[in-house]
Amino acid sequence: MSDRSSGTGVHRAGVFARAPAQAPAGGAHTLEADALTTDTSTPLPQTVPSPPADRPFARGLVPAPMPVQFLDDQGHRVQVFNDDYPEPAAEQLVAAYSAMVVGRRFDVQATALAKQGRLAVYPAARGQEACQVGSMLTLSKDDWAFPTYRDSMALVARGLDPVEVLTSPHGAAHCGYDPRANRTAPQATPLATQLIHAVGFASGEQRQGRPTVAMAFVGDGGTSEGDFHEALNFAAVFNAPVVFLVQNNTYAISTPLTRQTAAPSLGYKGIGYGIASEQVDGNDAMAVLAVLNKAVAHARAGQGPVLVEAHTYRLDAHTNADDATRYRSSAEVEDWIRRDPITRLEAWLRQEGLIDDAFVAATAQKAEAFAADLRARMSVDLVVDPMSLFDNVFGTPTPQLLEQRAMVQAELEAEEASR
C-alpha cells in the first residue's frame, strides 16, 4: 500500500506553499453583473454573497500536510495539525460512539441480509463508521444530505428508518424514504451526480435566505468524475453552502488510490477551485467531528464551500458481488482493523471516564435490539405496486413515460384478466 493511502504516511507537502490569494474582497455581487447566465429574461435572484476576505481555516485553502488527528490508533490524545479545531463536546463524542456501534451492527446485519437474498445488493461501510456517523452528527435537522449507495449507515445515524433505507438495495423502489421529510436526497449510484444536485440545492436555499447546509458525499473514485469538478467549480463561484466529504476508502471497486490519482491528497483538489480544503484521519471520530463541525459552521456562515478528504478504509468487499481477495491482501485489511474507529474512541472515552462497562454493554444491547427489529421487519415481503415505478421520475411526466406507463398498465390488466 502506498504511503499516501495509509492516512498516516508521507505526503508531498510543500508542493503548494501557503494559501493562494484569497477570494476578492468586496460586497455582494449580482449574477447579472458577473454575466454568469446568458438568459437575462429569467428573473434573477437578488444577490449572491461574496466570500468574506478572511476565511477562518488556519491554512487558508490549503489542507494540512498530514491528516488532522486527535486520537492515535490506541485512542491516545495527540497533537497532529489539530490546533485549528476545537475539541468536540463530550456529549457529541459519546453520541458518536453510540451511533457508530449501532451503525456497525446495522451494516453487518444488512450484509447478512444480502447473503440471505433479502437484499439484491449491499455496499457495506464497515470500517468507515467515523465518517458515516461524524458527517451526520455535525448537521442540524434542517440541513440536507446528498449520499451515495455507500452511505446507508450514515442515513441510519441521521435517524432514517433502516427498512426504508434498505428498500432500494432490496430492489423494491428507487428510494424507500421520503427525501423531503428526511431532508436527505435519494442515494445516488451514478458516481458524483449527487454533488451537482447538492450544489444546486444549496444555492437555491441560500438565495431564499435559509441557513441550510448540504453535506455532499463522494468516494475517492468519484473524484475522477467530471461532475465532481463541475460541482466544485459551481460551488466556489456561487459560494454555495456545501461541505464535500470525500471518503477516501482507498479503493474504487478494485482500483487502488494509486491508480486513481497522482495528486498528493484528494484534499488538494479543492484549492484550484478556490475551496477551503482539509484532510483528516477518517478513522478518528474525534478528528472527523472537529473538522466537520468547523466546515459546516463555515458553510452556514456564508464563508463558502469546504472540501474534506477523510482517509479511511472499507473493511468488506465493494459489495456482496465483489471478491476483494482478488486485489488486496489480508495483511492490508488487518492493518486497518488495527485502526478501528470504534475501539479508538471507546478507549479514549473510557480513559476520560465518560463511559464505563455498563454504558458499553447497554450500547451493545441497543445495537442487538436494532438488528433484531431490522431482521424481523425485513423478513416480511414488501408489497410493491409495479405502477409506482413511474412515480416521482419527473415533476411532470414526459409523453414517453406516460406511454410506457400505459403499456405496463395494459400488460398487468391483461395478466389479471387471464387468471
Ligand X SMILES: Cc1ncc(C[n+]2csc(CCOP(=O)(O)OP(=O)(O)O)c2C)c(N)n1
Buried b (16+ CB within 10 A) or exposed e, 362-388: ebeeebeebbeebeeebeeeeeeeeee
Catalytic residue among 59, 229, 300, 327: 327
Helices 341-351 and 90-115, packing angle to 10 deg: 150
Q: Rule CB under 5 A: which of 42-71 touch Mg ion? A: none
> What is the four-CA torsion angle of 123, 128, 132, 135, rounded to 10 degrees?
-140
- Is 251 annotated as catalytic? no
**Nearer to Mg ion by C-beta: 21 or 262?**
262
**234 to 253: interface string for Mg ion, x by CB under 5 A:** ---------------x--x-
Identify whether the C-beta of residue 106 lies closer than 8 Å to the C-beta of residue 129: no
Dihedrals phi, psi of 234, to nearest 5 degrees: -60, -45
Closest distance to ligand X from the beta carbon of 320 (Å): 13
Closest distance to ligand X from the beta carbon of 346 (Å): 25
Catalytic residue among 4, 158, 170, 314: 314
As a 3-state breakdown, the chain gives helix, strand, coil percent values, each rounded to 5, of: 45, 10, 45
- Using CB under 6 A as the binding rule, whether residue 254 contacts ligand X is answered as no
Closest distance to ligand X from the beta carbon of 179 (Å): 20
Dihedrals phi, psi of 342, to nearest 5 degrees: -75, -45
- Using CB under 6 A as the binding rule, whether residue 222 contacts ligand X is answered as yes
Closest distance to ligand X from the beta carbon of 327 (Å): 13
Closest distance to ligand X from the beta carbon of 227 (Å): 8
Residues 130 and 274: their CA atoms lie apart, in Å, by 27
- Is 122 annotated as catalytic? no
- Is 76 annotated as catalytic? no
Q: Is 388 helix (H, G, I), strand (E, B) or coil?
A: helix
Q: Tell me the site size for ligand X, rule CB under 6 A.
A: 13
**302 to 341: interface string for ligand X, x by CB under 6 A:** ----------------x-----------------------
Question: Which of ligand X, Mg ion, none is residue 191 near (CB under 5 to 8 Å by kind)?
Answer: ligand X
Instruction: Determine how many CB atoms are found less than 10 A away from the CB of residue 352.
Output: 13
3-state secondary structure string across 145-184: EECEHHHHHHHHHHCCCHHHHCHHHHCCCCCCCCHHHHCE
- Using CB under 6 A as the binding rule, whether residue 150 contacts ligand X is answered as yes
The C-alpha cell at 290 is: 472537529
Q: Please identify every residue annotated as catalytic.
A: 314, 318, 327
Where along the sequence are the contacts to Mg ion (CB under 5 A)? 219-220, 249, 252
Where along the sequence are the contacts to ligand X (CB under 6 A)? 150, 189-191, 219-222, 249, 251-253, 318
